[in-house]
Structure 1
């Protein structure tokens, strides 16, 4: 009887698929390796068209609500590095991270909201992309809030110079 059970077990083990028939196409983690197949031209990922439309200039109308939303999103996503005033003095800088550029530098003041959105979307320098973290409509809000920060800082500097 033991011999019969042993033979049946041996037959069953021999019939098992070991997964080694295609050993050349299997990595050490047993994941099948397939060649890279490029995406066909003209293919659009799901949701991409709507996202691109949301990012297209001129963007939403600038309203106080949009700027307020931009301030909220700025404080959540941008202020840790750029600081609450946009001067590049956020909390991560105080902990040793290299400071990002101030929004009040002339070259950054010259950026349009569309260019700011491009930086938020793609990243630049040490700043990584926020495309998967910040919604397109929130990117517009942040860009317009940054432009308001720049205008407000310019107005306060101008007022300060007029005073004796």
Structure 2
């Protein structure tokens, strides 16, 4: 994976954050097709020719009144109870999509764990450790970035825990 010097044409906050951090990553673009019938994440995996277990979606949940980012494989779902436990909370519910968009600065289907308007507690599913590289949204529909899970954790201040359900 080669770090590119600049990705000005894809200047989402996520790409800017990656460039500033100087970590190795690659950009992957594809044409988002709203008529595909697939979820955003499964559409990305299919378009990229990647294993859906290696492509991760970014979800926001409200855990005891605090927004928390859960990052799980696109072929699974977020276990809200496990997410709450991972951050020392009691109750979790999916965040309202409008609240998620306001808090992150991204639209649903393009929410990246990187470069959000403000940093939120972040939990990456432990399955990411099984890959040298994972794919996450680059900050818009049709743009993914691949990077090492350790770099993702470092840049988000996140931790790993078993928060995905098949």
- TM-score for the superposition, normalised by structure 1: 0.31
- TM-score for the superposition, normalised by structure 2: 0.31
**Structure 1 or 2: more helix by fraction:** 1
If you compute each CA radius of gyration, which structure gives the higher value, 1 or 2?
1
**Structure 1 or 2: more strand by fraction:** 2
